[in-house]
Chains A and B, each alone.
Chain A
Amino acid sequence: MTKKNNNSNEEEEEFVSFGHNLNTKIRFEDADEDETAQGSAEAATAQDESMCDAADSTTDAADDTTSADYYFDSYSHFGIHEEMLKDVVRTKTYQNVIYQNKFLIKDKVVLDVGAGTGILSLFCAKAGAKHVYAVECSQMADMAKEIVKANGFSDVITVLKGKIEEIELPTPKVDVIISEWMGYFLLFENMLDSVLYARNKWLVDGGIVLPEKASLFLTAIEDSEYKEDKIEFWNSVYGFDMSCIKKKAMMEPLVDTVDQKQIVTDSRLLKTMDISKMSSGDASFTAPFKLVAQRNDYIHALVAYFDVSFTMCHKLLGFSTGPKSRATHWKQTVMYLEDVLTICEGETITGSMSVSYNKKNPRDVDIKLSYSLDGQHSKISRTQHYKMR
């Protein structure tokens, strides 16, 4: 390892000069501040949740750093979009919907809610839309404008920067509303409300919403290894008992990819939402379920996933984010059970799941899960609460 001093004088130096010196600083938020300086702080929304400016997120006043000081990390923001664009299941399905069903789009006025990079708007413009309004509240709106221009669609696509609840559309009605609003567990991040708002305000009678339907499903899995790693881990940390953390850890559903081999029971539809008709309150619901074991096994967690469908297409299109389908960036949502259920083939887990939005922070989802197994080896009833933040 050498450490030499820079001889600044001698030989000729050649200076490389660039156009302008990029001196703008982008500030990063404190990674571990909660551990140190700050006092108690309430849930801050992840950057992705508040794609829009921080003023959006309902964070506690006690949380100094997420108030006006919150700056967006543009690099990681692009990362989100890259990940979503690279999610072939997601993006290609929308592309197929639009390109294979031009009759839905051609000569129509389209509203793209939460446009991001503008990819859906671009698809629509290419499919012959009369005009597309792409609404995006974050800084990505600026990039979307540039992209629209670079691709020669400036006269077809108008990018509007702002929240859908606050912008003015130059037209009283639109024929089509298109949006990719789904979050983890379908409802996390709650962009659905924005889509419904837009529908109520601007969609013409008989207009269409893409996608039109979304359904949430539940199934049960064996997951001893992972549960051991994520939850039981706290029982003995270098020999110390940190199990008090375990209960708290279990309350957070895990977004992860489930191997279909882990599935022990059948799947149950919990709820179907008709985006063209539902009201905002319908996203909060209670649904009963009954899961039937397909083999003898142990159950460590319940897994939720969703699918979406575009029913207005000539040929039905859509995709599923279930463990038996091709992977998407949504993966699945895993809720670990306090108990390990020993289940025999044919036995059933009955229960109900209640989903609602957190009152303090409407982007967060509260889940109440009640389950019961009256089987040969396990007789258990329990209710657990989960929070997705």
Chain B
Amino acid sequence: MAAAATKMVKNELLSHSDDDDTEENFSEDGDWGDWEEAGVEEDGDVSESDFLCLFCDAHYVSCALLFEHCRVSHGFDFHGVRKELKLDFYSSFKLINYVRSQVAENKAVDVKDVNFPWDDEKYLKPFWQEDSLLYSFADDEEEEDKEDEEGLDREGLIEDLQKLGDLSIDDVSINKDVTLISNKQSCVDGLVVVNGKDEEARVCDGRLAGRNIRKVNENYFGSYSSFGIHKDMISDKVRTEAYRDALLKNPSLLAGSVVMDVGCGTGILSLFAAQAGASRVVAVEASEKMAKVATKIAKDNKVFNDNEHNGVLEVAHSMVEELENSIQIQPHSVDVLVSEWMGYCLLYESMLSSVLYARDRWLKPGGAILPDTATMFVAGFGKGATSLPFWEDVYGFDMSSIGKEILEDTTRIPVVDVIEGRDLVTGPALLKAFDLATMKPDEVDFTETATLEPIESETEAKLCHGVVLWFDTGFTDRFCKENPTLLSTSPYTPPTHWAQTVLTFQEPISLAPDTVLAGADRSGAIGTEESPASSIHLRVSVARASEHRSIDVSLEATGVSSKGQKRRWPVQIFNL
């Protein structure tokens, strides 16, 4: 997905220049270490200094002058528009290309259009080959400090070396507790490709082997590795505050209760439970490292319970299935079971089976499980442009085989990405609802159908490139009587670290509301632009794969015409 791919590059580096592009010589910046700057000339005659107006033939030597001219003579305030619409580098880049292309076709340039007509992947490609404006418009804002930060002072350094002599620094606070913490999570996470505009999705950027991405950006090396993932989860306000509210705002449920936290991590949920007045909190954590961290944190917050301490919180380093080996606990003795077990696409990595085990073994009959419902939704997305255009011309070389490979991959590999409501071309449909208090463990494997319908207000056919999956979990009034709450990961609500899961169709399906389709008989295959479908029937199966904690998702789409004719595409299997 190009949208995904381009978002991977978090910083403003976009530019796939042509072979014979203007000389961009970065040697001029910064310091050069050993040699003198004297021998290096400035490239004064580069055509970078020549900018062509967006609307007329006027030439300018600086972007500032050009944009001022556009504002005064053409009524187009580029910087003003950028500020007002909060356009980032990419959007501005696209805006310029959009304007140029509209002007070339004598069409109107509409910056008030809330649909952001320039927000199309095609505008990432320079409209003009040698459009130096594209590479310089952002420079106005950066104060390019050209002065050398340091003409290496070798003599000075040698002098200092001699003066320093034996540098004896007190090893004041070598932390003796330093244990090598595994950062495996953050690096390993990266296998699920996640791209995002917001902080919350960064956890996945850290995982991007590349980038991004970042991020990838952001950091495919997991710049903030070891505890990055926990920081990201705790920083995910939507997530943490939903749990906090459920635990702290339902005193009739929590006060005096026995609580079990399955997969406690840093122990944040257990801390909330203790704060809410639980009489006993059992925090279960299978990772030795995190169990130690949770223990320390519980001690630091004076809620820890063991021979020496008199708190309510115990930490058990154990799998929940073997709990009785680690601590004293009777079956069916827990009043409230809480866990944050949800993975991407709800079920990936799913700890759910452990949670259900705990429910069936440790929870009292009628005891509370938080959350108590989980619901999966699906909707169709559009404009899922591929990154094909980028790979077709890389510094003058044809790397389209990579673009095709990526496209093929996305028809087999789910992509985790933040999708916005406006990227969707259909309304949402409910795919599967789980009642966590009563469901059987095998029910995590399911097959369900759903119908996607185009958005009624659409006035033309749209290409549906695939589907987006997301979930909600409810802390309903069944147990949370005072303050029921909902944790949603939908594209319509603020993004969470789960983002959404994208499954790309092998072939996009053209979709239009009946109002648009009404009238002339259309010939041609259903789902093509000549004969858009009026709805898409989906059949989705999710099953645990043989690979531990992995899931297989199968997706079968059938385009249905307004007359009821159908066209079915071959099933696609995705492994997550």
Contacts and interface: CB of A to CB of B under 8 A. Distances in A.
Interface stretch (A73-81, A190-198, A276-284): A73-81
B172 A383 contact: yes
Interface stretch (B59-67, B69-77, B435-443, B545-553): B545-553
B13 interface: yes
Contacts of B160: 288, 290, 350
B568 A34 contact: no
Contact of A385 (B178, B216, B275, B394): B178
Interface stretch (B48-56, B112-120, B190-198, B323-331): B190-198
Given A73-B193, A92-B26, A316-B40, A35 B285 contact: yes
B193 A25 contact: no
B133 interface: no
Nearest to A88: B15
Contact of B220 (A46, A88, A247, A253): A46
B125 interface: no
A11 B533 CA distance: 14
A83 B13 CA distance: 9
B286 A252 contact: no
B566 interface: yes
Given A30-B549, A325-B30, A381 B13 contact: no
A82 B9 contact: yes
A318 B32 contact: yes
Nearest to B230: A245
A73 B40 CA distance: 44
Contacts of B481: none
Interface stretch (A107-115, A142-150, A160-168, A172-180): A142-150
Nearest to A253: B223
Q: Which residue among B210, B229, B398, B427 has the maximum number of chain A CB atoms within 10 Å of its CB?
A: B210
Contacts of A269: 31, 33, 150, 152, 157
Contacts of B40: 315-316
B488 to A, nearest CB: 13
A24 B552 CA distance: 12
A66 interface: yes
A191 to B, nearest CB: 13
A355 interface: no
Nearest to A93: B26
Interface stretch (B94-102, B250-258, B364-372, B404-412): B404-412
B167 A370 contact: yes
A1 B225 contact: no
Contacts of A251: 178
A117 B567 contact: no
B344 interface: yes
A281 B408 CA distance: 44
Given A82-B9, A254-B223, A13 B387 contact: no
Contacts of B293: 244-245
Contacts of A14: 525-526, 565-568
B155 interface: no
B68 interface: no
A355 to B, nearest CB: 16
Contact of B349 (A31, A83, A249): A31
A25 B13 contact: no
Interface in A1-57: 1-6, 10-18, 21-49
B7 to A, nearest CB: 10
A371 interface: yes
Nearest to B192: A28
A102 B293 CA distance: 58
Contacts of B192: 28, 31, 73
Given A77-B210, A82-B210, A267 B301 contact: no
Interface string A287-327: 01010000000000000000101010001111110101111
Contacts of B150: 217, 266-269
A316 B390 CA distance: 30
B5 interface: yes
Interface string B195-238: 00000000000011111111011011111111101110011000
A288 B162 CA distance: 11
Contact of B216 (A13, A79, A92, A117): A79
Nearest to A244: B296
A328 to B, nearest CB: 7
A101 interface: no
Given A248-B181, A260-B145, A269-B150, A150 B400 contact: yes
Nearest to B181: A248
Contacts of B506: 18, 22
A35 B189 CA distance: 12
Interface stretch (B16-24, B80-88, B462-470, B510-518): B16-24
Contacts of B297: 240-242, 244-245
Interface band, chain A? 35 or more
Contact of B430 (A1, A237, A248, A318): A1
Contacts of B175: 247
A376 interface: no
A122 interface: yes
A248 B412 contact: no
A76 B208 contact: yes
A378 interface: no
Interface string A192-217: 00000000000000000000010101
A247 to B, nearest CB: 5
Contacts of B266: 237, 242, 245
B570 A21 contact: yes
B174 A46 contact: no
A344 interface: no
Given A89-B26, A96-B25, A78 B405 contact: yes
B27 interface: yes
B185 A32 contact: yes
B373 interface: no
Given A40-B287, A80-B210, A269-B150, A351 B169 contact: yes
Contact of B32 (A73, A77, A123, A307): A307
Interface string B132-147: 0000000000010100
A34 to B, nearest CB: 5
B444 interface: no
B570 A17 contact: yes
Contacts of B183: 43-44, 252, 389
Given A36-B287, A79-B213, A350 B164 contact: yes
A227 B552 CA distance: 41
Contacts of A36: 263, 286-287, 349, 351, 354
Contacts of B14: 86
Given A28-B575, A78-B5, 14 more contacts: A2-B451, A6-B558, A22-B408, A39-B287, A44-B182, A71-B191, A80-B210, A83-B212, A88-B24, A92-B24, A122-B395, A122-B397, A233-B231, A237-B268
25 contacts: A13-B568, A14-B567, A22-B408, A26-B575, A27-B547, A27-B550, A28-B191, A28-B348, A36-B263, A37-B549, A39-B287, A42-B180, A73-B193, A74-B413, A76-B193, A86-B15, A91-B395, A122-B395, A213-B34, A241-B297, A245-B227, A245-B297, A249-B227, A319-B29, A383-B170
